[in-house]
Amino acid sequence: MVQRREAQHGATARKVRHPVTRSKRSLPIYPTASEIPLLLSACEHERDRRLLKLIWWTGGRISEVLQVRAGDLTKHGLRLTNLKQRQTREKHVFLPAACMSQLREWTAGMGPSQIIVGRLSDGERLTRERAWQIVTTVSKRAGIYKKHPNGDVRPLSPHKFRHGNAVHQIEAGLPINVVSAQLGHADLSSTTVYLTLADPHRQELVSRVTF
């Protein structure tokens, strides 16, 4: 009888769901605008420089950037396939004139279906793993490492450039809804975390104001 009660108590205890305490969300880690020239200088191949520029300029996820073709170039930017949405759809990323000038130079003579940044051997699409390797190798060569919340110090990965792009645009004065559209976020709340990262820059600007 006692064993039966203990068994019933154990079954009841297993059904009880205790609330899970979520740890505070860590802020994204990213390269600063001042570190980008150092990273570009550390690239051994022009292809690698173009890869870093594309993930920095567009803020695209690495899988989105790797499939960009010459035909995706528009008058004012690039069409990227937004791979994060449940239903795959395109997003249009507007780019400054200087970036567009370089993109037109890169794609001159390319067919519409040709990958903009491909393999050195045959121009075909790079794998996500190879692109990751290129970025981390360049980061190590440039001596740029970032400290993570767990204390680890690691080189940059491609997704960190997406975070850096968002912070850089906010610091440049772009409205949060514009940055959200550039990144292809479905929810504005996904973009607001970058406001905290841009706060030091905002504080510096406000300090110049006199009342």
Q: Return the axis-axis angle of helices 128-142 and 46-58, rounded to nearest 10°.
A: 100
Going by C-alpha positions, the residue among 34, 76, 85, 89 that lies closest to residue 56 is 34
Per-residue pLDDT of the chain (211 residues; tens, 9 = 90+): 444 444 444 444 444 444 433 345 577 899 999 999 999 999 999 999 999 999 999 999 999 999 999 999 999 999 998 776 555 578 899 999 999 999 999 999 999 999 999 999 999 999 999 999 999 999 999 999 999 988 999 999 999 999 999 989 888 888 888 888 888 887 777 777 777 766 665 556 556 655 6
Confidence (pLDDT) at 106? 97
CA-to-CA separations, 21 to 24, 118, 123, 151, in angstroms, rounded: 9, 44, 48, 22
The type of residue at 67 is Q
Please enumerate in sequence order all residues whose Cβ is within 8 A of that of 195, keeping only pairs 6 or more positions apart, or say none. 170, 176
Q: What is the pLDDT of residue 201?
A: 56
Name beta bridge partners: 17: none
- pTM beyond 0.85: the answer is no
